[in-house]
Structure 1
Amino acid sequence: MHLYRDLIKPQLFRFDPEDIHHLTIRGLGLTGQVPGLPGVLRSAALPRTPELRQTLWGREFASPLGLAAGLDKNAEAVPAFGAMGFGFVEVGTVTPQAQAGNERPRLFRLPEDSALINRMGFNNAGTDAMRRHLEGPRLCPVWVNIGKNKVTPNEDAAADYRRCVAALYLVADAFVVNVSSPNTPGLRALQAAGDLRALVAEVMDEAERQRVRTARRLPVLVKLAPDLHPADFEASVNAVLDAGAGGLIVSNTTLSREGLRSTHQGEAGGLSGKPLRERSTELVRLAYQQMRGRVPIVGVGGIFSAEDAFEKILAGASLVEVYSGLIYGGPSLPAEINRGLADLLRREGLSSVAEATGLQAD
């Protein structure tokens, strides 16, 4: 019997998902403040496994598995997520000014599909609150996912992204440009190649300005949606490269509802979880074929097991992220995936994640 999946989850799933979300983040935040506890738990969840370690952007990752943005929007529970065994944690999306997001209900479980639908709308406490939270200890790299405020028109969006970079540069380990959430009106229009190239160039310019000021060099990654037309996806990837970004995250949530069975399938918002797995893996493969190692790819979408994570690595992802899988699998999932990935690498005669990356991309 699995404690979380068989006993705890059925009880939690009886209550409103957003209420449980906030309660969980508060509880994890308190757990992370217990002196010495996060480090002890991390040692058990992520023992020193050389096969899983790699260096990207000059920074060491003890595991290729990260937490996707959207779960810890305000960076309130970073030590606790590090304790679970994640190799890195992505927080946010954060906007320059605090905003309430869309009206509730705005988060829905689809248990028959092992999926979630959300239309949160970048609800967050703003960059000032996130900076305070990130001044505390951490056990792994922390990436900050940045966006624009809802009231900011697209023609002024670059200023919002630059403000986020300037405000959080000293406390972040990387930035992720989010132009692919379906829950902020007009945001996905910024993925069009010309607009995306200009926006990312602005973010890169601000990052360079901060590098000169702080003597720290941080990578900037861009997160794309899975719903782009193939030609548009290719153009957007080229735009990301042309603007000088350091990496690509594939992919955000989808608007597709194909094959769903749950009663909430008709809710508006972005779908995440198992129904996204094949589509996101195929996009990882296409991006890898197009870029051929020019920048690392982070694969996200439908990862519930070590086999799911390994599938994306073989398709071309250097790193992978989970969100919905953690909701359905519980806090032991990162440790399970870490152990499983190490076993899969050994079984295939591979000495590292880097050696496995892209082996099945063609």
Structure 2
Amino acid sequence: MYPLIRQLLFCFPPEDVHYFSMDMLRSACSLGTVKKLISNSFSCKDTALQKEVFGLSFTNPVGLGAGFDKNALYLNELEALGFGFVEIGTVTPLPQPGNDKPRLFRLPADKALINRMGFNNNGVKAVAARLAARKKGNSTLVVGGNIGKNKMTANEDAWKDYSICFSALFDYVDYFVVNVSSPNTPGLRALQDKDSLKQIFSVLQNSNQAKTNPKPILLKIAPDLTQEQLDDIISLSFEVNLDGLVATNTTISREGLATPEQTIVTIGAGGLSGKPVRERSTEVVQYLSKGTGGKIPIIASGGIFTGADATEKINAGASLVQVWTGFIYEGPSIVKNICKHLLQA
């Protein structure tokens, strides 16, 4: 059924379809009976799926990566689709419109997307207010806060932006992810060097440890890092007491695509996600897991479409997995299908 719906949806601009679909889901879920029906249809509830990671309890290990619900608009609806956790954001201190449209492109031949969104979001003040007003009810959804810097903030002042977002969201999210790996904010990836990261995490950990109940802080990294850079990340993870790593973000590589080269050239810059990233993402997860001796939990993200893909990541050392592009191509049954596979594995 979904392949037919997807064929229709793919006739329209990706960003428009995204908000149209989610707004429709929110309208449907406003009716309690419909929401319950959706939850019963798309959730896979089994205690065998429960996970305890960095001190948090997850009903299942399948989450939705950052960038899908940037402004925390659809958390209750996404929980109804079975997600064990959702990462909101990337959120920045000030609202920003992001890059010019079009900025999201489908590559159906590769089961991939290219995006150059540019951290478009409502700003941390608005997102925090929305989270504060959220009616949780009996929700068990774990919510992560993915935080970044504003485009106009100089890299030497980036730590201030991360600190602002951390403080504003602290009471409303369960864990934090520091995003320095998006290719769509000029100069952002330069913050992946060890000294820059040390400055950011030192500030955040000082604030965190001053709290009565500190929150887990994770780092999201790019798949394009060299072995030397990955070794730096491993070393840093212990130096600044990271609670976890998210591997990986989108890639700037365009190698091995089935989509015609001219189409890729016409699309231009942006981060590539989906099937083409799967193998490299798994390699990075495995390298990090081995390098940290399995002592630092990893959330795997990149090319997860099926239960077999998720199992591959878990076998490589991941504690949890996130989908995004797979959700677009596989549809609302993706969480249930992955969970059922994990139960049989």
TM-score w.r.t. length of structure 1: 0.90
Percent identity reads: 46
Letter in 2 for 1:224: I
Alignment of 1:73-88 (within 5 A): 73-88=70-85
Given that residues 54 and 297 in structure 2 are in contact (C-alpha distance below 8 angstroms), is that contact kept between their aligned partners in structure 1? no
2:129 is aligned to 132
Task: Pick the aligned partner of 2:219 from 210, 217, 222.
Answer: 222
Letter in 2 for 1:178: N
- What is the number of residues matched between the two proteins? 337
2:45 is aligned to 48
Letter in 1 for 2:279: E
Letter in 2 for 1:146: I
* CA pair 110-100 structure 1, distance change in 2 beyond 3 A: same
CA RMSD of the aligned region, Å? 1.5
Task: Pick the aligned partner of 2:25 from 18, 23, 28.
Answer: 28
Aligned-pair CA distance for 1:26: 2.2
2:228 is aligned to 231
1:182 is aligned to 183
Given that residues 94 and 122 in structure 2 are in contact (C-alpha distance below 8 angstroms), is that contact kept between their aligned partners in structure 1? yes
* CA pair 125-69 structure 1, distance change in 2 beyond 3 A: same
Alignment of 1:84-233 (within 5 A): 84-135=81-132, 136=134, 137=136, 138-209=139-210, 211-212=211-212, 216-233=213-230
Partner secondary structure for residue 99 of structure 1: coil
1:10 is aligned to 7
Partner secondary structure for residue 281 of structure 1: helix
List runs of 5+ in structure 1 lacking aligned partners: 345-362
Task: Pick the aligned partner of 1:247 from 244, 253, 256.
Answer: 244
Letter in 1 for 2:58: F
Aligned-pair CA distance for 1:40: 5.2
- After superposition, the C-alpha distances for 1:139-180 in whole angstroms (9 at most, x for unaligned) are 410001000000100011011101101111111011100000
How far apart, CA to CA, are the structure 2 residues paired with 1:27 and 1:242? 46
Partner secondary structure for residue 183 of structure 1: coil
Aligned-pair CA distance for 1:245: 1.4
* CA pair 133-35 structure 1, distance change in 2 beyond 3 A: farther
Given that residues 32 and 77 in structure 1 are in contact (C-alpha distance below 8 angstroms), is that contact kept between their aligned partners in structure 2? no
Given that residues 54 and 244 in structure 2 are in contact (C-alpha distance below 8 angstroms), is that contact kept between their aligned partners in structure 1? no
List runs of 5+ in structure 2 lacking aligned partners: none
How far apart, CA to CA, are the structure 2 residues paired with 1:93 and 1:240? 21
310-319 vs 198-207, greater mean Cα deviation: 198-207
Letter in 2 for 1:63: N
TM-score w.r.t. length of structure 2: 0.94
Letter in 2 for 1:253: T
Aligned-pair CA distance for 1:33: 3.4
How far apart, CA to CA, are the structure 2 residues paired with 1:53 and 1:41? 21
- After superposition, the C-alpha distances for 1:338-357 in whole angstroms (9 at most, x for unaligned) are 1111111xxxxxxxxxxxxx
1:265 is aligned to 264
How far apart, CA to CA, are the structure 2 residues paired with 1:324 and 1:262? 16
Aligned-pair CA distance for 1:39: 5.1
Indicate whether 1:63 and 2:60 are aligned. Answer: yes
- After superposition, the C-alpha distances for 1:12-43 in whole angstroms (9 at most, x for unaligned) are 00111111112223223334433365455435
1:341 is aligned to 342
253-262 vs 34-43, greater mean Cα deviation: 34-43
